[in-house]
Structure 1
Amino acid sequence: MVELLGPAEIRGLAAELDVRPTKKLGQNFVHDPNTVRRIVELAGVGAGDVVLEVGPGLGSLTLGLLGAGAEVIAVEIDPVLAGRLPTTVAERGQEAAGRLTVVGADALRVKAADLPAEPVALVANLPYNVAVPVVLHLLAELPSLARGLVMVQTEVADRMAAGPGSRIYGVPSVKLAWYGRARKVAAVPRAVFWPVPNVDSALVSFERAESGVKESTVDKETLFGVVDAAFAQRRKTLRAALAGWAGSADRAGAVLVAAGIDPRTRGEQLDVGDFARIVAAAGRAPRPSGA
């Protein structure tokens, strides 16, 4: 049995390690055991699952994942926190200690070769300022990741799960859709954190698509470049917004027509499949005279 951390234990560990949570690292530690249990349950992880956790901090969620029988690979950038985590686990669930591996690294730079096994799920309380880049990097680097559940700022959760036509639909929405489906599943109250953050949080789940855009012949980096260009100036039509990418507004218009998309359309109206058609059409659209 693994004993979870409560408010007193969290503060005790922080005092022992002289840890002062910083906004720079997005350190807000979950101190409510019921919230941890809920996250683990929603993540659907169990015995034998290899789970990647980013930013385990003092170990609240780590203990919950281990308690469910999972094997946990915890990526922690803070050497003090990374060094203490195995001891915390051994103290609160000795049997579980053998199922924990701590990797001292920046999650934005971690590679598959840095990990001892191929994780099937990502479960993490992510720093708000790097949440989307971390998820996108890990999905690209770790093809074994089939699903995930991450806790992020509510506004970030909304953007991650937004669909075409929404005011908040944008670059994160489309790029995550390249890999699969994301959805906002639950709110997380501020009171379960220490220190209490000044923003609301939510849980976002995702499932990697087994087929679809990612299996196509369209180059991902090219598509992501089109997405970046389309949303860099949201108020412009795609003909104007993609002029730099295509070489001219006339060329962009020709590509869009070849893709079956009205050049007067704006980026927020397209789904990831539409962007894939634009990339594919770029290789076959006729060039305007003089281009």
Structure 2
Amino acid sequence: MLGDGGLVPRAPPGAVRARQARRARRAVRAAARSRRGGRRRRLPRGRRRRGIPARPRRGLAARAERRSAPARGRPPLRRAGRGAAARARRGTRRVDRAALAARRQPASVSGEPTPSASGAVPRPPPGLRELRGRLEPRGFRPSRRLGQNFLVDSGLLARIAEEARIESGELVLEIGPGSGFLTRELLARAERVLAVELDPLLCAWLRETLGEWLRAVPPDAPRFELVEGDALAGKHALAPELDARLARAGAWRVVANLPYSAASPLIVLLGRHANPPRGMSVLVQAEVAERLAAPPASTARGPLSARVQADWEVTPGRHLPPGAFWPAPEIDSQVVHLAPRAQRLPSELRSSYDALVDRLFQQRRKTIRAALRGWGRLADPERALAEVGLAPDSRPEILAVEALERLAERLSPA
């Protein structure tokens, strides 16, 4: 609007209505005060005047009030206070810490906590905080070169040991025990455990922590033996000491979180031992697990698949996320269970079988005919393929173990 030669800004319609409403409320309150004879004294927050009903509660406060209200026909509940008086009213007793520690102990073969001869229970197993607190001051750092990623999830450790189906009288071989967390679960289920660890600092840790636990159990409890050193003598042979121990071990099986850097050769060599294991339950990279279990025609099928499946039925197990490990790896992990085939690859055919697998999968982009052409150990590839019923134009990854065995039988000696 115009006034005094200039423009006067007009208030928005909404602001005008709000101002009018405030004035009307003030006028109503002023009229009520004049009838009472003055302004009413303000009460403290949370108090209300006698005779005036309380405002109903809403939201979370109403829900809490309903939960604490006594049921119809029952006396009201008394709220617990603080300190000794509250404990006396609740009848609370203090926690028996010795009993709590006993419940956390690894179980014996029978599944019960194992006391010492004096009746005392072993101290609780160390956790990740204690592991780091006692190893890092000694200069230990997990080595990526050695594939040191320790599984620290106690629930997963127990499930892996349980799913291994350890039988009575078996020796359990664990390669790369590391922190010893899985070792404790194995000692709770096996009569004998043989562990092979390369890292000297971890060997000292295992002797310190597991030795303390084993000294507190009766003489007939699970026996534990630690071998300090490498389980491999190169990529194509087991360490002589380990090989000799397994030869006289009787019945044995493998349960281990294998070092990522050595998982593939260890699985092949252990599975081909002269005294083969009854089974293997190993934790490996998810990529390695996929190759181990890859069926014919799978893009993941390769030399590792063909070698292992010649002796073992491979069953993929549970996946484990990186967060279950310390330090967390950059890849996923998976458990793989291996059970012996009803008919293993004959020992006299093994050399020819390996040579054929290497020849085919080194040239996997070629057809089988092209991969075998010019190879001195197979004079007439076309005829050999026809005899075993294989199409010359097919690819190596389609070949099942049985087809590879039939073809290996037709190779001339090296």
Q: TM-score, normalised by structure 2?
A: 0.63
Residue 265 of structure 2: aligned partner: 133
- Kindly tell me: are residues 213 and 265 of structure 1, through their superposed partners in 2, closer, same or farther at Cα, counting changes over 3 Å? farther
2:326 equivalent in structure 1:
194
User: How far 1:281 sits from its partner (Å)?
Assistant: 2.5
Secondary structure, counterpart of 1:150 in structure 2: strand
Matches within 5 A, 1:10-89: 10-45=131-166, 47-89=168-210
* 5+ residue gaps, structure 1: 284-291
189-198 vs 94-103, which moves further:
94-103
Which residue number corresponds to residue 230 of structure 2?
Answer: 106
The answer on 1:170 being equivalent to 2:302 is yes
AA aligned opposite 2:217 = E
Alignment map for 1:204-219 (pairs within 5 Å): 204-209=336-341, 211-214=342-345, 216=346, 219=349
Aligned counterpart in structure 2 of residue 262 of structure 1, from 386, 391, 395: 391
Residue 225 of structure 1 is matched in structure 2 by 355
Indicate the larger mover: 64-73 or 93-102.
Answer: 93-102
Rg larger in structure: 2
- With over 3 angstroms needed to count, the CA separation of the structure-2 counterparts of 1:245 and 1:139, relative to structure 1, is farther
**Matched pairs, number:** 281
Q: Deviations over 1:140-196 (max 9, x none)?
A: 225230101111111111111110011111111111111111121110121111111
The answer to which structure, 1 or 2, has the higher relative contact order (CA under 8 A, 6+ apart) is 1
Name the SS for the 1:260 alignment partner.
coil
5+ residue gaps, structure 2, are: 1-104, 107-123, 233-237
| Alpha-carbon offset, residue 90 of structure 1 | 2.3
Alpha-carbon distance in 1 for matches of 2:255, 2:167: 12
* In 2: Cα distance, 1:4 partner to 1:273 partner: 48
Q: Which residue among 217, 227, 238 is the counterpart of 1:95?
A: 217
- Residue 238 of structure 1 is matched in structure 2 by 368
C-alpha displacement of 1:46: 5.1
1:56, 1:76 within 8 Å by CA — same for their partners in 2? yes
Q: Percent of aligned pairs with the same residue?
A: 35
What value does the CA root-mean-square deviation take over the aligned residues?
2.3
Deviation at 1:260, TM superposition (A): 2.2
The Cα of 1:234 is off from its aligned counterpart by 1.1
Quickly say closer, same or farther: Cα 1:159–1:39, change in 2 above 3 A.
same
CA contact (8 A) 2:352 2:409 kept: no
Following TM superposition, the consecutive aligned residue runs of length 4 or more in structure 1 with deviations greater than 4 angstroms are: none
Cα shift readout 1:70-104 (whole Å, capped 9, x = no counterpart): 41100112223223313211223432886111112
Distance 1:92 1:34, change over 3 A: farther
- Preserved CA contact (<8 Å) 1:74 1:102: yes
Deviation at 1:33, TM superposition (A): 1.1
- Residue 217 to residue 49, structure 1, CA distance change in 2 (3 Å): closer
Offset of residue 217 of structure 1: 6.8
Q: Which has the higher helix share?
A: 1
What SS does the aligned partner of 1:168 have? coil
Aligned to 1:288: none
In the TM superposition, residue 218 of structure 1 has moved relative to its aligned partner by: 5.2
Amino acid of the structure 2 residue aligned with 1:167: T
Shift of 1:14: 2.4
Give the aligned residue type for 2:201. V
